[in-house]
Amino acid sequence: MKTLILLLLVLLDLGLAQQRLHRVPLRRHQSLRKKLRAQGQLSEFWKSQNLDMIQFTESCTMNQDANEPLINYLDMEYFGTISIGSPPQNFTVIFDTGSSNLWVPSVYCTSAACKTHARFYPSQSNTYSALGSHFSIQYGTGSLSGIIGADQVDVEGLVVVGQQFGESVTEPGQTFVNAEFDGILGLGYPSLAVGGVTPVFDNMMAQNLVDIPMFSVYMSSDPEGGAGSELIFGGYDHSHFSGNLHWVPVTKQGYWQIALDAIQVGGAVMFCSEGCQAIVDTGTSLITGPSDKVKQLQKAIGAEPMDGEDFVDGMEFCSSGFQGLDIQPPAGPLWILGDVFIRRFYSVFDRGNNRVGLAPAVP
């Protein structure tokens, strides 16, 4: 039996090796939090936003149908480039497995955040179609709303035709003014899509742009630009991980949601002794969990509050990778395995078999 399983794995790997891998480079920028901290402006920023981050993260709730867990966008560091329309208009986006919509700022947006980012000009695209339907996405710090249009979307040579996407007309306050990204490209399941639009990857599959219905994410730990970080459509790259992939079934097709057997701290089970649910989310930078559990975890690892929103372990500006976030039923409670997890574990998202593959990432 072991020989048969090994043979099947070899055949699978050979099959993957013959498929086309479409690579999307991801760039790692210094996060906005780090920039503000280095300038001594972090505390002032939170005061200007009238936010108490500890209170905010504990009280944040999320409805699965229309809300996004983009609560710690200040820590986002990995971005890629796409283009929309013909001739192409370029945008920097987060490739987000925790949502399913594509949106970018519209030329008609007058919010302060839109003025600091690339905006889409529908009149300059020969392939644009005006659909006119309204969309709205609720974030922890405000709402994003606009209209839905359709155009071709180019992701490193993968050209999706007739892709519906959001053109944001209003963006919330100062939330995205200083963000490094223009918009978001969601890679979650269709059930998460606001407005009933078909997600980009679903259209990639339907238009036969990928040989295998899967994509994978490698986030390099290299602090200077994240050299080698990439998103691969159509398979995965063995050079990014060691050992074999461990496949975990998706338990609910919305987020990339999986079951955790337990959560250990120092080798002993501390939470989820009877199992719990988590999502693998490239659109969340940290690891989040129920606020009461995360408080216990922070205490267990010796972290202390700092500046009203950070935890440090005694070294200057050495931040804990955990944050409290209460996701209420029916979606929650959920733990979110964000970028600090994905940097350690190469992640493969298999839509064909509805499973997530994890293996230790090669630094």
DSSP run (H or E) holding 276 = strand 276-280
DSSP type of residue 249: E
Side-by-side strand order, sheet with 287-289: 252-253, 256-260, 276-280, 335-337, 287-289, 322-324
Q: What mean pLDDT comes out for the span 36-58? A: 50
pLDDT of 90-108, one tens digit each? Answer: 999 999 998 899 999 999 9
Distance in angstroms (rounded) separating the CA atoms of residues 26 and 225: 9
User: 42-71+237-362 and 77-209: same fold?
Assistant: yes
- In this predicted structure, the answer to whether residue 162 has a pLDDT above a threshold of 50 is yes
User: Which pLDDT does position 266 carry in this prediction?
Assistant: 83
Is 96 among the catalytic positions? yes
The SS3 of residue 103 is strand
From 151, 182, 281, 310, the catalytic residue: 281
pLDDT of 361 > 80? The answer is yes
Highest mean pLDDT among 117-131, 139-153, 295-309, 329-343: 117-131
Provide the residue type at 216 as one letter: S
Q: What is the pTM of this model?
A: 0.83
DSSP 64: T
CATH of 77-209, one of 2.60.15.10, 2.40.70.10, 1.10.540.10, 2.40.50.140: 2.40.70.10
pLDDT tens, residue by residue, 205-223: 999 999 999 999 999 887 6
For the chain, the domains span: 42-71+237-362, 77-209
% of the chain surpassing 90 pLDDT: 48
| Residue 292 annotated as catalytic | no
- Tell me the three state secondary structure of residue 253: strand
Say whether domain 42-71+237-362 belongs to CATH 3.40.50.460: no
Contact 153, 165 (CB under 8 A): yes
Write out pLDDT tens, residues 226-241.
678 999 999 999 999 9
Marked catalytic residue, from 96, 151, 202, 339: 96
